[in-house]
Amino acid sequence: MWTVNQNDSFQIPVSFKDETGVAVVPTSISYQIIDVETGTTVRSATAVTPAASSITLTLTYDDTALVNSGRRSEERVVRVTAVYGTDASGDPIQKTDEYSFLVVKLGLTTLSRLKLALGKSVTDTSEDDTLLTLLDAAEAAVARYLNRNLLQASYTEYFDGMGRQTLILSHRPVVSITGVWVDPVGYYGQSAAGFGAATQLTQGSDFALMNPGTNEKNPGMLRMLSALWDGTGLSNWPQGQGNIKVSYVAGYTQVPADVSQAVAMIVGQMLAQSERGLPMQSETLGEYSYTLLSGEPGQLMAGARQILNAYREVAV
């Protein structure tokens, strides 16, 4: 079974052969995607054109989105239906094949890595439910402690121009800039005619991303290069209210190993506490794990804090 991260694109090769193994070209091809556990139709029947004896189905963001955000993984089935003409009665001759894949929730670590960090057997599933509950709580606590989302995601933000040369985005590291617009009547995207094509800037001539790279040295800052957008003749982001729009992608596709280790430390501490009577209800674990991370004395939590402090956003 194939495995794909949530919201990633994914390709499935499909070929069509007759009963003797000879490649054939169906008269029509369609496919749909079903979530196995819930039976939810993730993608309704979609035609593939042109038909060929071998095709590649490209699954996109919506196809690999989780139906239930509370689950760590979801099994999907792609049902491919091919029609091969008609029989003697004029009815279509069709054949349906199924291809399974697993959508895995993006997180700060995986269950397998967590087990290895805790010295447990990866193949032993007896504690999986408990470990997953603790892992969800630990990841939520880490996100709250860091005051940022480390996982890669797409963002669109609006800013007030302050007449300065740099613009600080809310998320980092910035992976790519989708677009930047400056419009004095954009008003946070609430103006019907705001941020049109003529107001879009060009990366590399109008502005630049400072210190690009998927690491903590990337500050998530855009530097204005052009003086054309500021009436002062200086290379500054022009002053205004909601006059700047930025669409971009930021975060890690692979979380730094030390962050994953810190998550495992927190889970290990909660697991040890559970043996002393800590309730396993998820609604209490989130607050408990955050309190544990923020103020629990001892070498283990001090080590986790020391790791995470290198990634923490502190309001100034």
Q: Which among 245, 246, 242, 230 has a CA at the least distance from the CA of 160?
A: 242
Q: Which among 54, 59, 58, 44 has a CA at the least distance from the CA of 15?
A: 54
Cα→Cα distances 288→48, 114, 266, Å: 51, 19, 11
Read off the tokens for 172.
Answer: 């980092």
Predicted local confidence at residue 54, as pLDDT: 93
Task: Please state whether beta strands 73-86 and 28-35 pair in parallel, antiparallel, or not at all (unpaired).
Answer: antiparallel
If one counts every other C-beta atom within 10 angstroms of the C-beta of residue 205, the result is: 10
pLDDT of the chain, 316 residues: tens digit per residue: 888 888 788 899 999 988 788 999 999 999 999 999 999 999 999 999 888 899 999 998 889 888 887 777 899 999 999 998 888 888 888 899 999 999 988 889 988 889 999 999 988 888 888 888 888 888 888 888 899 999 988 899 999 999 999 999 999 999 999 999 999 999 999 998 899 999 999 999 999 999 888 889 899 999 999 876 556 667 899 999 999 999 999 999 889 999 999 999 989 888 887 776 655 444 445 566 666 666 555 555 778 889 999 999 876 5
Predicted local confidence at residue 283, as pLDDT: 42
